[in-house]
Structure 1
Amino acid sequence: MQATAAEEARYAELQRIALGAARHGDLTTLAPMLDAGLPVNLRDEKGNSLLMLAAYHGEQAAVELLLGHGADPDARNDRQQTPLAGVAFKGHLEVACILLAAGADATADQGGGRTPAMFAAMFGHTDLLTLLNEKSERPRSRMLGLKLTSWARLVSALRRWFVPRKLA
């Protein structure tokens, strides 16, 4: 039996609703959908999983819900980025802790040899960088992490220096 065009359109709409619910941390919508059998590793047109969207937007409760339903903590999008890399880019320390506790790879190559720690350093998230360095299993990554921590501090200082200030 094949789905009708109307059924396929409704399923596509339900997918859009689920992706939006993950992005906005709408557990009232997302939880029943997962309980009813919505694929926990559902992806959008860019390959972003529900978990990637929730993590990137700092939605801790949605991240926990999705991981509790078996979401892959290292599911990559079409750009080969993991949820932990998205979190490192945005600086969501608490979400990073949740992902790492669920087994996310702190040293996963995001393409071109870039790691989540490099994203954290690039955007001056020193607390997140420290966490990622602690979770790194590779000695070379830890050494690089020390250099990246210094780099992240410099980036943070430069941002504070160049942020326009209001004159009194």
Structure 2
Amino acid sequence: MAAELDAETIAFAHRMFDLARCGSTEQLTGQIAHGLPVNLTNDKGDTLLILAAYHNHPRTVTALLELGADPARVNDRGQTALAAAVFRKNADSVRALLAAGADPADGSPSAAGTAAFFDLPEMAELLRGRAGETPVTP
């Protein structure tokens, strides 16, 4: 049985997710340095990394990856940070996530599928060109 969290703990967690959404890299990484789990998830399964990627904060994405954020985590809707970065057309975040090992085929829809569905050829090219690997097809 999961332990109930008190209102203060829940409010703190909400503030941490807001830091990821707002791209407050220094504040967020400072909290991680003091023990905040880098792979903290909210009630929808969104990680700090997914939120930073979706809200277009490549600097925060890079910092979270450097601190050990898992680029393969999937939220409750099947979405990954890479698919979020592709959807937002953020090449810097896409490159950082690919360099950290994110797989364009993971998730539902996958990053490759997102690029195809929304007709994002620049993003599809980034995904196909990752580390000289075989092109990914949705």
Distance 1:127 1:11 in 2: 41
* Identical pairs, percent: 38
Distance 1:21 1:115 in 2: 26
Matched with 2:111 is 116
Provide structure 1 residue ranges, at least 5 long, that are not aligned to the other structure. 146-168
Distance 2:32 2:67 in 1: 7
What pairs with 1:58-69 in structure 2 (closer than 5 Å)?
58-69=56-67
Kept in 1, the 8 Å contact 2:105–2:112? The answer is: yes
Provide structure 2 residue ranges, at least 5 long, that are not aligned to the other structure. none
* Match for residue 17 of structure 1 among 9, 15, 18: 15
Match of 1:119, as an amino acid?
T
Matched with 1:95 is 93
Q: TM-score, normalised by structure 2?
A: 0.87
Q: TM-score, normalised by structure 1?
A: 0.72
Secondary structure at the residue paired with 1:76?
Answer: coil
Match of 1:77, as an amino acid?
N
Distance 2:93 2:77 in 1: 21
Query: RCO (CA 8 Å, sep 6+): is it higher in 1 or 2?
Result: 2
Instruction: Kindly state the Cα deviation for residue 134 of structure 1 after the two structures are TM-superposed.
Output: 2.1
The 4+ residue runs of structure 1 with deviation greater than 4 A are: 136-139
* Structure with greater helix share of residues: 1
Distance 1:134 1:64 in 2: 19
Distance 1:94 1:126 in 2: 15
Instruction: Kindly state the Cα deviation for residue 137 of structure 1 after the two structures are TM-superposed.
Output: 4.8
Distance 1:24 1:15 in 2: 14
Secondary structure at the residue paired with 1:106?
Answer: coil
Distance 1:27 1:94 in 2: 15
* Aligned-CA RMSD value: 2.2
Number of aligned pairs?
135
Instruction: Kindly state the Cα deviation for residue 28 of structure 1 after the two structures are TM-superposed.
Output: 3.4
Match of 1:14, as an amino acid?
F
Kept in 1, the 8 Å contact 2:25–2:60? The answer is: yes
* Match for residue 57 of structure 1 among 36, 45, 55: 55
